[in-house]
Homo-oligomer: A and B are copies of this chain.
């Protein structure tokens, strides 16, 4: 059985998205900046795509900037807010310790430019509180950037409350909604979101397309300089197939959000409950404030990558917080941030579902996981001692 359970890493492109892309890869190949009919047909598609994103976010089309992905959107949001803050002499930014690296590394860059960054430590349940944000606000705070939902442990942050607070305090509020968009209801007006990042490949759209929503009046700093595309705020010939696929996927995801979520939540909870039966395991992240598709646990005494390899042999595509492949030997900064010790964090497993997953698949995962954990534990010198009480239990 083949089970794709790594939808937080990327999703399969939906038929709807592909159908929207194909015309742009065949007949409608024009450059939207071109005056002629071939170009203007593309320009119309570009406008339509912009309107789609605006509609489902409750924003204006002119507030939508297309980027090459979630990372670029995050970069541009933070750099822009920083530039605005700097002009007012405000150089303090509030964020969280478990943001995506697209945010964290951009914040590092801002620190090099003289900004001060406060990274809020998430509580053990992975849900930042409004009080934490409130306490961190200073007179020179120019930006609060807090992710809508965490990419590893799936916890949903109190975005509307943080938005209201920031509005009251007159501070720009950006949210990395890469994991949330298409999965959770977003209303930039009601939630008082000033800037928001989206990446299409997280909701069955294509890779290489992102959206930066920025409220009217927020002056964007270019990350990419050049032509006057995107109102001069993002240079480069538009990725038309990608943009059209992204818009189709977003509309589709938003239209079917509730039914998809209901399906995923039932699978998720079955999987979470089932896996939590394995001894010396612990669920990461709040059980309620959680993305419909996110399952994340740590299994003591074993290491994530070897678990993934064995799952892969069984046809199950999953991921681990250990991020071993990316060349880092550090365990997930997210798991460390919610207080998991290094050795426990190494043994994490993330299974992220989409509406394409079935109950049969969940049953299959539940059937193979205990064997895999046992097999690795038997090989593990750590487990041996954990079992015999020679090593301190971590969980």
Residues of A7-22 contacting chain B, CB below 8 A = 9-13, 18, 21
Complex CA gap A251/B68 in Å reads: 24
A319: which B residues are within 8 A, CB to CB? 34-36
The 3 closest A-B pairs by CB, nearest first: A208-B239, A102-B226, A68-B68
Complex CA gap A146/B98 in Å reads: 43
Contact between A25 and B206, CB atoms less than 8 A apart: yes
Q: Which of B201, B225, B227 contacts A326 (CB 8 A)?
A: B227
> Could you write out 6 A-B pairs with CB less than 8 Å apart?
A11-B29, A33-B325, A35-B319, A36-B317, A70-B237, A101-B235
The count of identical subunits is 2
A109: which B residues are within 8 A, CB to CB? 225
Complex CA gap A101/B236 in Å reads: 10
Contact between B317 and A34, CB atoms less than 8 A apart: yes
A106: which B residues are within 8 A, CB to CB? 225-226
Contact between B326 and A228, CB atoms less than 8 A apart: yes
Contact bitstring A83-116, B, C-beta under 8 A = 1, else 0: 0000000000000000011110110110000000
A285: which B residues are within 8 A, CB to CB? none
A37: which B residues are within 8 A, CB to CB? 312, 317
A194 is an interface residue with CB less than 8 A from chain B: no
Contact bitstring A161-174, B, C-beta under 8 A = 1, else 0: 00000000000000
Measured as residues with beta carbon below 8 angstroms from the partner, the interface class of chain A is: 35 or more
Chain A residues within 8 Å of B, Cβ to Cβ: 4, 6, 9-13, 18, 21, 25-26, 29-31, 33-39, 67-72, 74-75, 100-103, 105-106, 108-109, 199, 201, 206-210, 222-228, 235-242, 305, 308-309, 311-312, 316-320, 324-328
Q: Which of B35, B105, B208 contacts A242 (CB 8 A)?
A: B208
- Known contacts: A34-B319, A38-B317. The answer to whether A225 contacts B71 by CB under 8 A is yes
A225: which B residues are within 8 A, CB to CB? 71, 75, 101-102, 105-106, 108-109
Complex CA gap A268/B241 in Å reads: 30
